[in-house]
Chain A
Amino acid sequence: DAGVTQSPTHLIKTRGQQVTLRCSPKSGHDTVSWYQQALGQGPQFIFQYYEEEERQRGNFPDRFSGHQFPNYSSELNVNALLLGDSALYLCASSVEGYGYTFGSGTRLTVV
Chain B
Amino acid sequence: SQKIEQNSEALNIQEGKTATLTCNYTNYSPAYLQWYRQDPGRGPVFLLLIRENEKEKRKERLKVTFDTTLKQSLFHITASQPADSATYLCALDRQSGGKLIFGQGTELSVKP
Contact = CB atoms under 8 A, between A and B. Distances in A.
Given A94-B97, A97-B96, A99-B36, A44 B43 contact: no
Interface residues of B, number: 24
A21 interface: no
A102 B44 contact: yes
A102 B97 contact: no
Interface size class of A (residues with CB under 8 A): 20 to 34
A56 interface: yes
B97 A45 contact: no
Contact of B89 (A4, A42, A48): A42
A90 B44 contact: yes
A98 B98 CA distance: 11
Contacts, number: 66
A48 B98 contact: yes
Nearest to B107: A40
Interface in B18-60: 34, 36, 41-49
Interface string B86-101: 0001010000111111
Given A41-B104, A99-B36, A48 B45 contact: no
B99 A56 contact: yes
Interface string A44-60: 11001000000010100
Contacts of B101: 45
Contact of B45 (A33, A98, A102): A102
Contact of A42 (B45, B99, B102): B102
Contact of A105 (B42, B91, B104): B42
Contacts of A92: 43
14 contacts: A31-B97, A35-B102, A42-B89, A42-B103, A43-B44, A43-B89, A43-B100, A90-B43, A97-B96, A98-B49, A98-B96, A100-B46, A102-B44, A107-B41
Interface of A: 4, 31, 33, 35, 40-45, 48, 56, 58, 90, 92, 94-105, 107
Interface of B: 4, 34, 36, 41-49, 89, 91, 96-105
